[in-house]
């Protein structure tokens, strides 16, 4: 019941102990953050006796929050407290938070650029892959010509094309979007075509005896039947797109979170590096969560059948 406020108090005390001898200028924000955390956790711990719904809402999160705040505390002790890790490579959480706030305009801008580039590449690649995957999965001649191409081009990591892409394309952003699209295209095409060609023959037989034409068989039988497999491809493609995005941004494109990380590293501002990494983690996992939500919506008919 009191685990979260207790952990918050420990972290707060450790933080004050670490900074009591120094001028805590740059640590001020972090002090406020921990104080707020402590007060809110105490309020919730008291309030949950009164409001059942609050208790239900926070119950499952308690161990996670306790662990998270203790981890922050350990990080602070190891870095700012005992100086076990070399500076400037391992700044304290206070320094990271300070960098995040002081550089928020550029960080926001970088996140925005990354988002636009990622979405442009991902949507383009996924749409192209959907079309090519359905063709390869359904038609024998598309399979004959498409499969060798897929098998030869597909396994090459999209990032390997970077040198070529920089020469061919007039704009680094366009070539980065194309590379992300390529990275997404391979897994989505592969899984779409295998989903389509593995459509149960009996579904197609039934549909034909119900009077289905070719269009019905493709759009109303094969594609719905392939959707679970298509989503596996979309998830794999999303992972590949993150990787390609970060690499492309750090070597070619002059904006985005990947660029920001290598730029901050060039100035040895590791507080900013960590800040950007934290934002990147939140950013990517949000997009991943959105794809899961979309999956749950589209594949609602599988509810209770699948576990992933």
Partner 1 sequence: MVTTNIAVGSALRVHEVHKSFAVPDAPGTTRLALDGISFSIAAGELVSLVGPSGCGKSTLLRLIAGLDFPDAGELLVGEEKILGPSAARGLVFQDPNLFPWLTVRRNIEAGLVARGVLEAQRHEVSDFMRLVGLEAFANSYPHHLSGGMSQRVALARALINHPKVLLLDEPLGALDAFTRMRMQDEVLRLWENRRTTMLLVTHDIDEAIYMSDRILVMTPAPGRVDRKIDIDLLRPRDRTSEPFLRLRSQILEHLHFAGTAADVSA
Rank residues 233 and 256 by Cβ distance to partner 1 and give the closer one.
Answer: 233
Closest C-alpha among 185, 122, 126 to residue 150: 185
CB-neighbour burial class of residue 237 (10 A; exposed 0-12, middle 13-18, buried 19+): buried
Residues that bind partner 1 (CB under 8 A): 200, 202-203, 205-213, 216, 220-221, 224-225, 227, 300-305
To partner 1, the closest distance from the beta carbon of 225 in angstroms equals 7
**Among 122, 146, 119, which residue's Cα sits nearest to residue 134?**
146
Q: Taking Cα atoms as reference points, which of 120, 124, 125 lies closest to residue 173?
A: 120
In angstroms and rounded to an integer, the radius of gyration of the C-alpha atoms of the chain is 25
**Quick check: 69 and 7 in contact, CB under 8 A?**
yes
**Minimum Å distance from CB 299 to partner 1?**
8
Q: Name the token pair of 94.
A: 């206070």
Closest distance between partner 1 and the C-beta of residue 300, in Å?
8
Q: 306: which DSSP letter?
A: -
* For partner 1, the closer CB: 205 or 296: 205
Based on CB atoms, which residue is closest to partner 1, 61 or 206?
206
Distance of closest approach, residue 194 Cβ to partner 1, in angstroms: 18
Could you tell me the smallest distance in angstroms from the CB atom of residue 141 to partner 1? Answer: 22
C-beta closer to partner 1: residue 23 or 202: 202
CB of 200 to partner 1, least distance (A): 8
For 265, the enclosing helix (H) or strand (E) is: helix 257-266
Closer residue to partner 1 (CB): 231 or 259: 231
Residue (211 or 266) nearer to partner 1, CB? 211
The separation between the first and the last C-alpha atoms of the chain, rounded to the nearest angstrom, is: 31
């Amino acid at each position: 019941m009191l685990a979260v406020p207790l952990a918050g108090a420990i972290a707060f005390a450790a933080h004050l102990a670490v900074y009591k001898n120094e001028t805590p200028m740059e640590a001020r924000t972090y002090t406020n953050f921990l104080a707020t955390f402590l007060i809110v956790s105490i309020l919730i711990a008291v309030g949950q006796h009164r409001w059942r719904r609050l208790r239900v809402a926070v119950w499952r999160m308690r161990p996670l929050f306790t662990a998270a705040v203790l981890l922050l505390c350990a990080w602070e002790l190891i870095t700012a407290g005992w100086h076990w890790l070399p500076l400037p490579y391992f700044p304290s959480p206070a320094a990271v938070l300070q960098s995040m706030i002081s550089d928020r305009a550029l960080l926001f801008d970088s996140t925005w650029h990354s988002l636009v580039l990622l979405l442009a590449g991902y949507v383009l690649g996924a749409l192209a892959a959907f079309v090519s995957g359905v063709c390869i999965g359904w038609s024998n001649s598309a399979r004959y010509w498409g499969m060798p191409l897929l098998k030869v081009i597909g396994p090459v990591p999209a990032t390997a094309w970077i040198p070529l892409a920089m020469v061919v394309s007039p704009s680094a952003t366009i070539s980065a979007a194309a590379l992300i699209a390529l990275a997404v295209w391979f897994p989505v095409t592969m899984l779409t075509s295998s989903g389509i060609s593995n459509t149960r023959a009996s579904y197609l037989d039934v549909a034909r005896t119900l009077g289905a034409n070719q269009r019905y068989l493709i759009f109303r039988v094969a594609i719905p039947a392939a959707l679970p497999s298509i989503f596996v491809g979309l998830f794999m493609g999303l992972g590949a797109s993150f990787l390609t995005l970060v690499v492309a941004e750090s070597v070619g494109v002059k904006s985005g979170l990947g660029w920001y990380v290598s730029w901050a590293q060039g100035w040895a501002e590791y507080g900013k590096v960590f800040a950007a990494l934290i934002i990147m983690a939140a950013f990517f996992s949000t997009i991943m969560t959105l794809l899961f939500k979309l999956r749950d919506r589209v594949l609602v008919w599988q509810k209770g059948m699948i576990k992933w």
